[in-house]
Structure 1
Amino acid sequence: MGRIPTIDVAPLFDASHRDYEQTVLRVMNACTDIGFLSITGTGIPDNAVRNMRACVQAIFNVEEDTKWDQAITRENYRGFIPLGFFTPNDGSGKADKYEGYKLHHEVASDAPIRNDCTLYGPNVWPPQVPNARGVILDYWSQLDRVADALLRTLETGLGLPAHQLRDAFRDPMTNMTLLHYPPQAADEGGYGIHPHKDTDALTIIAPDPVGGLEVQTRDGGWVRPDCPPGGFVVNIGDMLELWSGGRLKSTPHRVVNRSGQERYSFPYFAVPRHDVVVAPLIDPLPGFDRPAVHCGHWSAEIWRTNWPDEAAHDATPELGTLSD
């Protein structure tokens, strides 16, 4: 498949819907072929996305000095990510041309799960945008509902027991990155975000109108998702590829912003609970041979190796970075 299909997923929210099985098949075909799809019929109102986009723009419009006061640290990977701060995880290539703001599944400071895994905790909310917490968590909860429906769909399509995937997302490590991409000059090298595969289970994003997201096809070309207004782009990540024994495809993609405009996006990354071990749940396809991965360790290594002075080692799982 050289294009990204658009699928009305409204039937997926009701297993008794007459089009449920057909919609499951369409989603499975997309996920086992190109690993990307555009979806409509989510029930998420347009104003939720508009409010989210306005909130993201307001967060990046705060004074530069205050961004450093709220920047990520090695001990707490939450808050601002300065422009050009991170290179690809493998340490190669130029720094990506974006600034970000990292958020994680919201957990109270005294939550018991923090005794089991130090990666959990409360987010850093920018005081200059007082409505940010409410707007973002409202949007987040709506994407949780969509992700749950998609996971149920994949359980059905893969022939897994009900809830086998969804149960892995109780107390998840789901996270979101708010992103601002300044425009790149036509002759400027590098990327907004370098070619990579997502290391999560499932990614959901409301595409920015200025474009810039590019997906690699099986023949090595690059296409842009043709997502209708009000729709979302969904892609399979490495965890679901591993769970499915290679059937669901985690596909390379990148961002190049040569639109001449500021680009904003806010992808949602569905990640299981910290103690989940991701391994094939069904017999792997011939030639698919990847080791099981501990979710908490994988997540910690992804965030650790983002720092320019850190490197992957023998105990580091695959991190999604691709050579240019």
Structure 2
Amino acid sequence: MTARAADRSLLIRDFRGGGCFHPPRNRSISAAMTDIAEMTSVPSVSLATSHSDPDGFAQAIGRSFERFGFAVVADHGIPAELIARAEATARAFFALPEAVKRAYCVEGGAGQRGYTPFRVETAKDATEADLKEFWHVGRELPAGHRFAGEMPANIWPAEVEDFRQVTLELFDAFEATGRRILSAIARYLGLAPDVFDDAIEDGNSILRLLHYPPIGPDAPGIRAGAHEDINAITLLLGAEEGGLQLLDRDGRWLAVGIAPGELVVNIGDMLQRLTNRKLPSTSHRVMNPPPERRGFARYSMPFFLHFRPDYLIETLPQTIDAAHPNQFPEPITANDYLLQRLREIKLI
């Protein structure tokens, strides 16, 4: 394979269903694995059809998840004006002086609330920290709530007007959309559509406002190193700028291309574990931009939908058979699993 071919990745354009991807774990992933081949694609599915044809929508999005670990969702129901307000809010915060932003770092908080500075979060097994900074918003809990010990209180930057109102509104909108997608996943697995409702009630979900600053030609590392997400599912707004890639089953990196306003959704490790890898948590990364885009920042807003802290992640019996023995025989609570993974990425 030539060096030129190694620097390119596939643009995903056309999907043909089937198959179950068991993603590579704990292995080095390099540009040398990139190759050029037939153009294929993660399909775009319309969430609006989940009302008129819930089974059809469940099959469409479920096949995409089973094949790629990813799906692209149109008509997701999150208002465009809310997205615009949230992006403006994020831009306003990240434009603040470094000293002001760092005042909102929560010491000993594992990055779960407030500000995490540039080049702190590190992908598992990576040698370079990610070229990004971010802010985390969690669930608002009443005083004395039973999960107050596992879910710290939010903090809010006084310098950005309406920050709290806008981000909590977006948090609620993301959660409502995520609930509908989990319902479709349940249908795809042959379960009751509401089977995950209790699991995510008071879940430890997190909204991340994410900023990848402009970078120079000799920047160390990449914007986000290859990793899998910890949570149940991730919903991502703002991927139109480009750079997001997923690792396909044959070791090729595929560029995730979406239309304006579409949502990228991927399976996280918790749901992969629950489904015995039937729905894979796929390695993905955010590459540095080409030279002509290095002077531009990239903003995105992922929502990490989590189970409630005491939810027991135990392999679903429907996903176990002679051909697919239980790969995760030891159950673990969502909170214990979260802490385990946060240690791996050096946040605690």
Cross-structure match for 1:263: 298
Other structure's SS at 2:299 match: strand
Cross-structure match for 1:64: 98
Point out the more displaced range, 219-228 or 26-35.
219-228
Residue of 9, 33, 46 corresponding to 1:8: 46
TM-score (norm 1): 0.87
Among all aligned residue pairs of Structure 1 and Structure 2, give the percentage whose two residues are the same amino acid: 27
What does 1:113-262 correspond to in 2, within 5 Å? 113-114=146-147, 118-186=149-217, 188-258=219-289, 259-260=293-294, 261-262=296-297
Other structure's SS at 1:233 match: strand
Other structure's SS at 1:219 match: coil
Runs of 5+ in structure 1 lacking a partner? 311-324
The question of whether the paired residues in 2 share the 8 Å contact of 1:246 and 1:288 is answered with no
The residue type equivalent to 1:296 in the other structure is N
Tell me by how many angstroms 1:275 deviates: 0.3
Cross-structure match for 2:145: 112
Q: Distance in 2 between matches of 1:166 and 1:224?
A: 32
The residue type equivalent to 1:182 in the other structure is P
Superposition RMSD on alpha carbons, in Å?
1.9
The residue type equivalent to 2:122 in the other structure is T
The question of whether the paired residues in 2 share the 8 Å contact of 1:183 and 1:257 is answered with no
The residue type equivalent to 2:87 in the other structure is R
Residue of 274, 279, 282 corresponding to 2:309: 274
Tell me by how many angstroms 1:307 deviates: 3.7
Tell me by how many angstroms 1:178 deviates: 1.5
Point out the more displaced range, 131-140 or 294-303.
294-303
Tell me by how many angstroms 1:43 deviates: 2.1
Runs of 5+ in structure 2 lacking a partner? 1-14, 16-39
Q: Distance in 1 between matches of 2:344 and 2:267?
A: 22
The residue type equivalent to 2:149 in the other structure is T
Tell me by how many angstroms 1:72 deviates: 2.6
Residue of 313, 321, 327 corresponding to 1:289: 327
Aligned length, in residue pairs: 301
TM-score (norm 2): 0.81
Tell me by how many angstroms 1:8 deviates: 1.0
The question of whether the paired residues in 2 share the 8 Å contact of 1:257 and 1:263 is answered with no
Other structure's SS at 2:235 match: strand
